[in-house]
Amino acid sequence: MSATMRALLAVAMGFTLVPPLSQTLRAETPAASAAVTPTGLVGNVLFAPRPVLGSDGLQHLVYELQLSNVTGERVQLKRLSIFGDADKEPLAVLDGAEIARRFSPGGRRGNESAELGGYQYGIGFLHVALPAGRAVPQRLRHEVEAWFGQFKVDAVIRLGPVAVTTSEPPVLGPPLRGDGYIAGDGCCDSVRHVRALLPLNGGFRLAQRFAIDWEKLGADGRLVKGDRKQVANYHIYGEPILAVRDGTIVDMRNDLPDQVPGALPDGLPISDADGNFAVLDIGGGAFVLYAHMKPGSVRVKAGDKVKRGDVIGQVGNTGNSSEPHLHLHVMDGPSPLLADGLPYVFEAFTVKAIDRAGTADFDRAAEMGTPVTLTPVVPPLAMRRALPLDLSVIEWGQ
């Protein structure tokens, strides 16, 4: 088949060709009609994105775009542009290298690639930090440039339009007391939570999209003092966990032992993943999960009414946990896994430092007992109604 015939076939599949092929074909191809045409790549957003104000002062959108190659040969994703409303300039552009860091064939974390095989799908884990002063868009749309092996052409596909849900996120009080708390694996680009997409009960769920693993630093910047295999040596172990809103406890567990720190447990059943936990219904279709609590420390049971600031348990190391911490997230249903993760904000907190060296540095500190590499925030940044971003070190307000 000649290059021109392949390109004509691509036009018939609904592609917008990338120049110079598109210029070559103008004289040979009839004017495009408004008729419905097939396309070689289809896409949809799994869950409507919801904005949240981060501790950097910017609005953030975190969501997932599923792309499916409906041709029989390889597709190479080269560029993804994200547009808001009727904007002519994109809010964000991902080149091939960035796509390869964010796009997972089959939705499998750790399987990132910018390629899709024939009849294969993948999930792009996307994050848009809106420019300062830019209003949250009402809609998003996507434009993908890709190489299609079946047609031997580069083409642009427009897909995945979605409305942005602009309802206000739940406002929470502090889940812990005092200062020195670091937001592990938080919003918006750390992978352990934001890419914890699970195929459950016949569909995808991502309850942990905005989850944070709260840990605590000592005065020397370390998470632990002494033997790292002893849970009681971690600064956060046994800290009281507080109700973040008035609400009703809808589920809990209190019978699992602490894990030995240092590694995630092998062969843990999914029913034990959250360890000892509590789920708090705070109204408006939002539920708060507190996970990995200390054995025997959970003070509440299903049906209990709690007030903001009530102690509901203590920080432990139960379930799927490698060192003591409080896992907290907000979701749209009472199941810790079979739900969609919602953004949320805290009423007041102060950012005192940030580990700008990133997740690798934090993981090394957890594994080796070394200090976290901190960049002080001078002066400390007092925030209201915002979400602490990844590896921020904060002091809680009231």
- CATH architecture, range 171-396: Distorted Sandwich (2.70)
Is there a contact between 243 and 280 (Cβ–Cβ < 8 Å)? yes
What rounded mean pLDDT belongs to the chain? 92
pLDDT band at 36 (very low <50, low <70, confident <90, very high): confident
> Token pair 């029989």 is at which residue?
72
Q: pLDDT tens digits, residue range 45-81?
A: 999 999 999 999 999 999 999 999 999 999 999 999 9
- Name every residue whose Cβ is closer than 8 Å to that of residue 10 and which is 6 or more positions away in sequence: 17, 40, 148, 151, 153, 155
CA distance 349 to 285: 25
Residue-level pLDDT at 109: 87
Cα-based angle 382, 331, 111 (whole degrees, multiple of 5): 95
Residue-level pLDDT at 189: 94
The predicted model scores a pTM of: 0.91
Cα-based angle 337, 176, 231 (whole degrees, multiple of 5): 75
Q: pLDDT tens digits, residue range 228-264?
A: 999 999 999 999 999 999 999 999 999 999 999 999 9
Is there a contact between 297 and 237 (Cβ–Cβ < 8 Å)? no
For the chain, the domains span 3-163, 171-396
Question: What CATH number matches the domain at 3-163, 1.10.150, 2.60.40, 2.40.50, 3.40.50?
Answer: 2.60.40
Q: Evaluate whether 3-163 and 171-396 have a shared fold.
A: no
pLDDT band at 213 (very low <50, low <70, confident <90, very high): very high
> Is the previous residue joined to 188 through a cis bond, with omega within 30 degrees of 0?
yes
Q: pLDDT tens digits, residue range 284-317?
A: 999 999 999 999 999 999 999 999 999 999 999 9
